[in-house]
A and B are shown apart, each in its own frame.
Chain A
Amino acid sequence: MNLIKKITRRSFIKRSILTILSLELVYVFFNLLKKSNDRLKPDNLFEAGKLDLFEKNRVYPFSSRRFYLSRLEDGGFLAISTKCTHLGCTVQFSNNEGKFKCPCHASAFNKYGEVLAAPATRALDIYPITIQNDTILVDTEKPVKRTKYESSQITYA
């Protein structure tokens, strides 16, 4: 092979040093990019309110926290992310039609976050819910990805 013949000991050492140095630089750079991540995030649980504030079979917006709290017929809760699983636009719940609609490319989701209309293929993300002293706490820092809705995702009091 031509390529192998061309490499002498000297050039091999030279190239190795250069390669290692560049890799080091790239590594440091990517770490720099990774780190600045979480510095801006508050890490407390969000208090959505008391249990009996929420009627069954209704969906409540928490726009500034980017989720909707969906209370189902049987009293269970789902905290559904407003981030469309297609390309990340913000979905809005239409009370008339009883579904989430994405303004960007018209994906639609039902109150469980299941896909009703493409192009989205995945159900909307959910946030973990804990209930303490009849108060609903939503962990808005940890969106949970899911491909489809399952009843195990519901939180009960």
Chain B
Amino acid sequence: MSNSEIEKKAITKFLIHLHPVNVNAQAIKYTRTFGLGGIAALLFVILFLTGILLRFAYVPSEIGAYASITYLQQEVLFGQLLRNTHFWSGMLLVIVSFLHLIRVIYSQSIYYERRKNWLYGLLLMFLVILSNFTGYLLPWDQLAYWAVTIMTNMMSYVPLIGEKLATIVRGGAELNEGTLLRFYNLHTGLLPLIMVFVMSIHVWLVRKSKGVTVADSSKKEMVPTNPQLVYKEIVVALALILLLTFFSIFVDAPLQSQANPLVSPNPSKSPWYFMGFQELLLHLHPIFSIFIVPLLVTAFLIYIPYMKDVHVNVGVWFHSENGKKITIWSVVYAAVFTFLLIVASEYLLKFQLWMPDLSLLITTGLLPLVLYLVPSALFLYVMKQKLNADKTELIMSIVTILLTGYIVMTVVGSLMRGQNMNLFA
């Protein structure tokens, strides 16, 4: 054997631990997965490496944190680039994980032997957000300080345990050095460690279910993984690294002035991926927006693949042509209706002023919720009557409404609110 052949063998052997020798030809079409899981894994590796380097410069203390970041940016060769790369990879990972989640739902890839992996996937999404959130505090600038203040105070609205929970997260009534230390340790120690485990299980479960779902499981044409799949992966990986590097060269990660607990910036916002919640909190009583609604949505997401009496076409995008139509209608409905309701509740609907005698739980909680649920139920009913939606398609429609609603709230909260959180200010 020549040298290059041995080399090739070693590479193949390594990859075989992640991939089978042969794969279904349909599974490696780019539009099957859009490579999202792989991109997320690569981003994690990039974050891991840049994060380890950042640790050499970063000082997790109230006095040291901000200074160490400015030192990194101004004095260290490529320090700014290092920070930018870590920052943008972290943001991209949240987006990519979210898209990945959307991909597996709509391609009906969460049922039967993949149920368990859906749960691990949800757990990973949670861990990604937690990682990003704990990292967000570390620069200890105004943006970081107030975003985390707002977020932890949102937590304290959870009934009964909220106040305790927020205190445990912060390590006190206010953000302080102790908070910074525990976020630092979670961010650079515990969370990456847990994520490595969960990611391994996640990937292993994909292989255990014989790879990703395919649109037509009767077609069994197999092709060798190396080079057919491996080359595609390499192209995507290189393209991602290239784009990320260019982006990080030209766009700096934000850094405001050092954290000052005495002065809050106007407006103060939580990190963008929590802005949907902050927006919801403006319209809905905290007990509903911070507790009941998220709890129900999470329970619903967990429950989807365990639902009884549903007929699913595993691997088929949107279940059917009809399902595609229904999904598009659901996006349109949810986008328009959510937006209108936000505007209406901002300027017109003031139940608490019209009915001051009723409990706030009803006027700012139950009523707005009903105002969202009733038209949505009506919409589902129309879908059922007019487009003959079956159970699977209705579930998909509900998922679509929830996701679209959250995205609309995120966009409104992060981009359309200015001073004093006024709309269009």
Residues of A within 8 A of B (CB): 30, 33-34, 36-41, 63-64, 66, 82-83, 86-90, 102-106, 118-119, 121, 143
A37 partner, pick from B153, B172, B264, B360, beta carbons under 8 A: B172
Q: Is the CB of B150 within 8 A of A90?
A: no
B265 partner, pick from A39, A86, A103, A106, beta carbons under 8 A: A103
Does B68 make an interface contact (CB < 8 A)?
no
Closest A residue to B172 by beta carbon equals A37
Known contacts A40-B172, A40-B177, A105-B282: does B182 contact A33 (CB below 8 Å)?
yes
Q: Is the CB of A89 within 8 A of B182?
A: no
Known contacts A40-B178, A64-B262, A104-B267: does B149 contact A89 (CB below 8 Å)?
yes
A106 partner, pick from B154, B172, B173, B421, beta carbons under 8 A: B421
Q: Is the CB of B420 within 8 A of A105?
A: yes
Q: Is the CB of B421 within 8 A of A90?
A: no
Q: Is the CB of A87 within 8 A of B150?
A: yes
Which A residues lie within 8 Å of B173 (CB)? 143
Q: Is the CB of B421 within 8 A of A87?
A: no
Q: Is the CB of B262 within 8 A of A66?
A: yes
A40 partner, pick from B153, B176, B263, beta carbons under 8 A: B176
Which B residues lie within 8 Å of A37 (CB)? 167, 171-172, 178
Number of interface residues of B (CB under 8 A): 32
Which A residues lie within 8 Å of B172 (CB)? 37-38, 40-41
CA distance A102 to B265 in the complex (A): 10
CA distance A88 to B153 in the complex (A): 6
B267 partner, pick from A64, A105, A143, beta carbons under 8 A: A105
Q: C-beta contact mask, B13-27 vs A, less than 8 Å → 1, else 0?
A: 000000000000000
Which A residues lie within 8 Å of B171 (CB)? 33, 36-37
Q: Is the CB of A90 within 8 A of B182?
A: no
CA distance A66 to B175 in the complex (A): 13
CA distance A118 to B422 in the complex (A): 12
CA distance A36 to B382 in the complex (A): 56
CA distance A40 to B261 in the complex (A): 16
Closest B residue to A141 by beta carbon equals B173
Grouping DSSP codes into helix (H, G, I), strand (E, B) and loop, the A interface class, with mixed when no group exceeds half, is loop
CA distance A49 to B227 in the complex (A): 79
Known contacts A89-B150, A90-B263: does B168 contact A34 (CB below 8 Å)?
yes
Which B residues lie within 8 Å of A103 (CB)? 264-268, 420
Q: Is the CB of B154 within 8 A of A121?
A: no
* 9 sampled A-B residue pairs with Cβ under 8 A: A34-B168, A37-B172, A38-B172, A40-B172, A40-B176, A87-B281, A89-B264, A102-B264, A103-B420
Closest A residue to B166 by beta carbon equals A88
Does B66 make an interface contact (CB < 8 A)?
no
CA distance A22 to B105 in the complex (A): 32
Closest A residue to B267 by beta carbon equals A104
Q: Is the CB of B178 within 8 A of A87?
A: no
Known contacts A34-B168, A37-B171: does B420 contact A106 (CB below 8 Å)?
yes
Q: Is the CB of A87 within 8 A of B420?
A: no
Q: Kindly name the residue among A87, A118, A143 whose own CB sees the greatest number of chain B CB atoms within 10 A.
A: A87
Closest A residue to B265 by beta carbon equals A103
| Given A66-B262, A88-B153, A89-B149; 17 other pairs, CB 8 A cutoff | A33-B168, A40-B172, A63-B262, A83-B174, A87-B149, A87-B150, A87-B153, A87-B154, A88-B149, A88-B150, A89-B268, A90-B262, A104-B267, A105-B268, A105-B420, A118-B352, A119-B282
Which A residues lie within 8 Å of B167 (CB)? 37
Q: Kindly name the residue among A33, A41, A105 whose own CB sees the greatest number of chain B CB atoms within 10 A.
A: A105
Which A residues lie within 8 Å of B352 (CB)? 118
Q: How far is the CB of B163 from chain A (nearest CB, A)?
A: 9
Q: Which of B167-195 contact A (CB under 8 A)?
A: 167-168, 171-174, 176-178, 181-182
Known contacts A37-B178, A40-B177: does B421 contact A104 (CB below 8 Å)?
yes
Which A residues lie within 8 Å of B176 (CB)? 40
Does B87 make an interface contact (CB < 8 A)?
no
Q: Is the CB of A30 within 8 A of B150?
A: no
CA distance A102 to B173 in the complex (A): 19
Q: C-beta contact mask, B136-166 vs A, less than 8 Å → 1, else 0?
A: 0000000000100110111000000000000
Q: Is the CB of A90 within 8 A of B267?
A: no
Q: How far is the CB of B239 from chain A (nearest CB, A)?
A: 40
Which A residues lie within 8 Å of B282 (CB)? 105, 119
Q: How far is the CB of B392 from chain A (nearest CB, A)?
A: 26
Q: Is the CB of A89 within 8 A of B421?
A: no
Which B residues lie within 8 Å of A38 (CB)? 172
CA distance A88 to B360 in the complex (A): 21
Q: Is the CB of A104 within 8 A of B150?
A: yes
Q: How far is the CB of B83 from chain A (nearest CB, A)?
A: 27
